[in-house]
C-alpha cells in the first residue's frame, strides 16, 4: 500500500470552540516540573507526571492550548481542523485510544483516493498505474534509505515513471506527505518513518480531542517563556511574562522553528550540538485552504481524498466533504505552498478556486460560500508545519532526544519514526516525563538490600 497517509499536517491541537478547564497554577514559585508548551507533547507529559503525583506547571505562549492542532467551529459552523486532522494507525495510536474515555467519536477514514485527469476522474487502469508508480517510488526511497550514504528522496526515485506521473508522485510523497519537496528530504528520514497507511478521523475534530485530554491540567495561557536558566546541578528556573517558576526539571516542547528563533533565551546558551540538531529538523510548509462548496460540485464522498495528475509543482490535494459537511480542504505544501502562503490568504483562496475551476468547470465558483486559509509559517508560536530532516540530518532526531542538564526536549521532531504526527509528539512527551521520573523520583526498589555482615548461606 503506498504511503498516502503521511498527511500528518502535524501541527498539534486545542479547540478554538472549547477552551479546556485549567487547573489552578501559581505564576511563580516551585513545582516539580515546568513544561514549556501545551501541545500534544506537553499535554502527554503533564498527564504522565500528574498521574505519578508530581506537581506540574505548563506555560503556553498562545491564548489557547494545543500547539499545531486546532479545531475551529466558528468559521464554518462545523468542526474545522486548522492543523492536524489525520489520526494515523488508530489501533496503536496513543491519542486515538483515549478518545472513548473522552466521549468523542473516532471513525475510520475511507480507503483509497481518486485521481483527477483534466476534467475527469482516472479510469481503473490509470488508477492502477498511479498506485503502481507510488509503490515503486516508495520502494526505491526505502532501498536508498538502507544504503551507506544518505541522499535526497528525489534522487532515489525511478528515472522513468509511466504515464507522465512523476509530478503527481513527487507531490504525494513530498509536499503532501513531508511538507517539503522530495529534493529537500533525507531518504534516511523518510525510510525510517513508520507506516501510516491506516487512518481515522475524530468527528468532533482532532483539536477538540486533544483539548479534551488537556482538561484540568495546570495550563497557564498567554504566558510565553522568555528565559530559561538551567544547569545540571541546581533547579531550573523559567521566566515567563507572568512570573518565574523553579523546578527540578523542565520539558521544552516548542517547535524546532521556535527553538532556533531566539524567542526563548537559554542561560547558559544551549550547546551547539542541540541547536544544530534543531536547525537540521526545520519545519516544512503545509496549509489548508478551506472552502465551503454547496451542492458537492466536486463529486466526492464524505472524507474522500483526491489528487491531480499534475504537470508541475503547482498542484494540491483535496479532502472532500469533511465529516459529511460541505467543507472541502485544498491542501498545499512544499516550496510552492510556502511561496503561495507568503502572498497571503487572498492569493491562497484565489489559487484554490482557479485550480478547482480548471478541473471541474465554473460550477465551483457558483457553489462557493465561505472560505479560509491557514498560514502556519506566520503563526508566531509555531513558525511552520512539521519537521522533515534534510539530507544527512536524520541523526539529529536522536540528538534532540538527549537531555541537556535538567532540560528535556519533546515534540514531533524528537521522534525517529513518528515525526510529523500528533501520535509521535504524544509519545515523545511521555518519554520525557518517564525520564524525569526515573531521574528524580525513582520508584522504591522491591528487593530489600542485603544486611551488612550477614552470614552467607552455603
Q: Where are the domains positioned within the chain?
A: 14-106+202-282+393-439
Taking only the tens place, the pLDDT of each residue in 134-168 is: 999 999 999 999 999 999 999 999 988 888 999 99
* CA angle centred on 456, ends 451 and 457, rounded to 5°: 130
Give the per-residue pLDDT at 24: 55
Task: Give percent above pLDDT 90 in the chain.
Answer: 88
Residue 10 has pLDDT above 60, yes or no: no
- Average pLDDT of the chain is 92
CA distance 207 to 82: 8
Burial, 331: exposed, middle or buried (Cβ in 10 Å; 0-12, 13-18, 19+)? buried
CATH superfamily of 14-106+202-282+393-439: FAD/NAD(P)-binding domain (3.50.50.60)
- pLDDT at residue 197, rounded to an integer: 85
**Average pLDDT, stretch 105-110?**
96
Contact 376, 387 (CB under 8 A): no
Q: What are the Cα distances from residue 436, in Å, to 96, 248, 433?
A: 25, 9, 5
Cα dihedral sign for 376, 377, 379, 380?
positive
Cα distance between residue 411 and residue 12, in whole Å: 9
What is the model's pLDDT at position 3?
38
With a cut of 90, say whether residue 263 has pLDDT above it.
yes
Q: Give 331-381 pLDDT, tens digit per residue.
A: 999 999 999 999 999 999 999 999 999 999 999 999 999 999 999 999 999
User: What pLDDT was estimated at residue 4?
Assistant: 40
2 pLDDT above the threshold of 60: no
Residue with cell 522504591: 444
Mean pLDDT of 22-31: 71
Instruction: Work out the average pLDDT over 173-188.
Output: 98
Cα–Cα distance for residue pair 165/154, rounded to 1 Å: 14
User: CA 183: distance to chain centroid?
Assistant: 21
**Contact, 38 vs 214, CB < 8 A?**
yes
CA distance 33 to 236: 9
Map residue 328 onto helix, strand or coil: strand
Of the pLDDT bands very low, low, confident and very high (cuts 50, 70, 90), residue 258 is very high
Contact yes or no for 83/376 (Cβ under 8 A):
yes
pLDDT greater than 80 at residue 112: yes
Dist. CA 217–CA 40, nearest whole Å: 13
Please return the burial class of 225, using the count of CB atoms within 10 Å of its CB with bins 0-12, 13-18 and 19+: buried
**If pLDDT is split at 50, 70 and 90, which confidence band does 449 have?**
low
pLDDT for 445: 72
Whole-number pLDDT of residue 152: 98
Rg value, the chain, Cα: 23
User: Does the pLDDT value for residue 201 go beyond 80?
Assistant: yes
Q: Name residues whose C-beta falls within 8 Å of residue 110's C-beta, 6 or more positions apart in sequence.
A: 301, 302, 303, 304, 305
CA distances from 117 to 298, 309, 414, 444 (A): 13, 5, 39, 64
Cβ neighbors of 253 (< 8 A, separation 6 or more) are 35, 36, 37, 39, 41, 42, 45, 67, 409, 410, 411, 425, 429
User: In angstroms, rounded to a whole number, what is the distance separating the alpha carbons of residues 393 and 379?
Assistant: 25
Give residue 25's pLDDT band: very low, low, confident or very high (50, 70, 90): low
- Residue 309 in grid coordinates: 495528475
What pLDDT sits at residue 232?
87
Contact 404, 230 (CB under 8 A): yes
How high is the pLDDT of residue 26?
A: 62
Least confident piece of the model among 274-288, 369-383, 434-448: 434-448
Per-residue pLDDT at 404: 97
Amino acid at each position: 500500500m503506498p504511503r498516502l497517509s503521511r498527511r500528518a499536517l502535524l501541527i498539534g491541537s486545542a479547540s478554538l470552540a472549547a477552551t479546556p478547564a485549567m487547573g489552578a497554577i501559581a505564576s511563580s514559585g516551585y513545582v516539580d516540573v515546568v513544561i514549556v508548551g501545551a501541545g500534544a507533547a506537553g499535554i502527554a507529559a503533564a498527564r504522565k507526571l500528574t498521574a505519578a503525583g508530581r506537581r506540574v506547571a505548563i506555560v503556553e505562549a498562545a491564548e489557547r492550548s494545543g500547539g499545531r492542532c486546532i479545531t475551529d467551529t466558528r468559521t464554518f459552523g462545523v468542526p474545522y481542523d486548522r492543523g492536524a486532522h489525520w489520526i494515523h494507525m488508530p489501533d496503536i495510536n496513543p491519542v486515538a485510544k483515549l478518545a472513548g474515555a473522552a466521549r468523542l467519536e473516532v471513525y475510520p477514514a475511507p480507503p483509497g483516493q481518486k485521481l483527477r485527469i483534466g476534467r475527469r476522474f482516472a479510469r481503473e487502469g490509470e488508477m492502477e498505474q498511479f498506485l503502481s508508480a507510488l509503490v515503486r517510488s516508495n520502494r526505491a526511497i526505502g532501498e536508498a534509505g538502507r544504503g551507506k550514504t544518505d541522499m535526497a528522496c528525489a534522487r532515489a526515485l525511478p528515472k522513468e515513471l509511466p504515464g507522465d506521473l512523476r509530478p503527481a508522485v513527487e507531490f504525494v510523497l513530498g509536499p503532501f506527505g513531508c511538507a517539503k519537496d522530495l529534493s529537500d528530504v533525507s531518504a534516511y528520514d523518510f525510510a525510517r518513518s513508520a507506516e501510516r497507511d491506516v487512518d481515522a478521523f475524530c468527528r468532533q475534530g482532532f483539536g477538540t480531542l486533544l483539548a479534551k485530554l488537556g482538561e484540568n491540567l495546570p495550563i497557564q495561557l498567554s504566558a510565553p517563556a522568555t528565559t530559561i536558566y538551567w544547569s545540571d546541578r541546581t533547579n531550573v528556573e523559567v521566566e515567563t511574562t507572568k512570573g518565574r517558576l523553579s523546578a527540578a526539571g523542565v520539558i521544552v516542547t516548542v517547535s524546532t522553528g521556535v527553538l532556533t528563533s531566539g524567542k526563548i533565551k537559554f542561560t547558559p546558551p544551549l550547546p551547539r550540538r542541540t541547536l544544530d540538531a534543531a536547525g537540521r529538523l526545520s519545519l516544512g510548509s503545509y496549509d489548508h485552504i478551506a472552502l465551503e462548496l454547496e451542492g458537492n460540485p466536486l463529486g466526492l464522498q464524505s472524507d474522500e481524498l483526491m489528487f491531480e495528475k499534475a504537470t508541475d509543482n503547482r498542484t494540491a490535494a483535496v479532502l472532500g466533504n469533511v465529516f459529511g459537511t460541505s467543507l472541502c480542504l485544498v491542501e498545499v505544501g512544499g516550496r510552492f505552498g510556502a511561496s503561495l502562503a507568503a502572498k497571503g490568504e487572498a492569493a491562497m483562496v484565489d489559487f484554490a478556486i482557479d485550480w478547482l475551476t480548471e478541473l471541474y468547470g465554473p460550477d465551483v465558483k457558483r457553489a462557493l460560500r465561505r472560505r479560509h486559509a491557514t498560514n502556519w509559517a506566520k503563526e508566531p508560536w509555531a513558525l511552520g508545519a512539521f519537521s522533515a530532516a534534510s539530507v544527512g540530518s536524520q541523526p539529529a532526531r536522536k540528538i534532540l532526544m538527549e537531555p541537556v542538564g535538567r532540560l528535556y526536549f519533546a515534540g514531533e521532531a524528537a521522534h525517529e519514526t513518528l515525526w510529523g504526527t500528533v501520535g509521535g509528539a504524544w509519545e515523545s512527551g511521555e518519554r520525557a516525563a518517564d525520564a524525569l521520573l526515573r531521574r528524580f523520583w525513582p520508584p522504591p526498589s522491591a528487593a530489600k538490600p542485603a544486611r551488612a555482615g550477614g552470614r552467607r548461606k552455603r
